[in-house]
A and B are shown apart, each in its own frame.
Chain A
Amino acid sequence: NAGVTQTPKFQVLKTGQSMTLQCAQDMNHNSMYWYRQDPGMGLRLIYYSASEGTTDKGEVPNGYNVSRLNKREFSLRLESAAPSQTSVYFCASSEIAAGQNYEQYFGPGTRLTVT
């Protein structure tokens, strides 16, 4: 049981290049999330998918796109990377249900540098 896995672990991009960050979970969770964390800051939500087939914007969606490929996988794409997107990216998953609490499980993160 691997939990939440992310690839790659590290990436360096030049300004204007594109890339896709991959995330997969093996806990059969309905909901998945992408966060970014800048140095010394808390995490900020980029996009989330409350269930397979749906995606919604979070606090900081500009410059990103997402795809919920299936129940297990949720990818984050940077179409034209900018230095302001240098950050650590975390994927997470959880169950959700009205009136119920479920903890969120996080992956190990992808450290992205845009030069």
Chain B
Amino acid sequence: DAKTTQPNSMESNEEEPVHLPCNHSTISGTDYIHWYRQLPSQGPEYVIHGLTSNVNNRMASLAIAEDRKSSTLILHRATLRDAAVYYCILRDYLGSSNTGKLIFGQGTTLQVKP
């Protein structure tokens, strides 16, 4: 699985948008971009994923660069409950060894200030 690079930490104010960047310059054509987050003292939870086009769901939006070498997770209005570690993960679903396993980096710790 290709490697991703994220900032160690970011801060945001409550009710403001947050843009969490992820670089993945060695991404392959069949790698999907996944985002998970981990709230304090909990297991990770799925946020969103995409391949080439921007994606929206009830939790967040995912903006993918045209060359796919970077992506940005967008939280439209941060709440205190969004304070968590956010992980950007690449997954190749078309490979012959598709086992579903995830390779986590250290992620970005998001602090939300009231």
Contact = CB atoms under 8 A, between A and B. Distances in A.
Interface of A: 4, 31, 33, 35, 40-45, 48, 50, 56, 58-59, 90, 92, 94-109
Given A42-B106, A45-B103, A106 B43 contact: yes
A102 B100 contact: yes
A50 B49 CA distance: 21
Given A31-B100, A41-B106, A43-B104, A104 B46 contact: yes
- 7 tightest A-B CB contacts, nearest first: A106-B43, A42-B104, A103-B46, A96-B100, A43-B104, A31-B100, A50-B99
28 contacts: A33-B101, A35-B104, A41-B106, A42-B87, A42-B105, A43-B44, A45-B101, A45-B103, A48-B99, A50-B99, A90-B43, A94-B100, A96-B98, A96-B100, A97-B98, A99-B93, A99-B98, A101-B34, A101-B91, A101-B93, A102-B100, A104-B36, A104-B102, A106-B43, A106-B44, A108-B43, A109-B41, A109-B43
B12 to A, nearest CB: 21
Contacts of A99: 93-94, 98
Given A103-B49, A108-B43, 10 more contacts: A40-B106, A41-B106, A43-B104, A45-B102, A90-B44, A94-B100, A98-B98, A101-B91, A104-B46, A109-B41
A102 B24 CA distance: 21
Interface of B: 32, 34, 36, 41-46, 49, 87, 91, 93-94, 98-107
A67 B42 CA distance: 24
A104 B34 CA distance: 11
A35 B43 CA distance: 10
Contacts of A95: 100
A41 B46 CA distance: 18
A26 to B, nearest CB: 16
B93 A42 contact: no
A50 B98 CA distance: 9
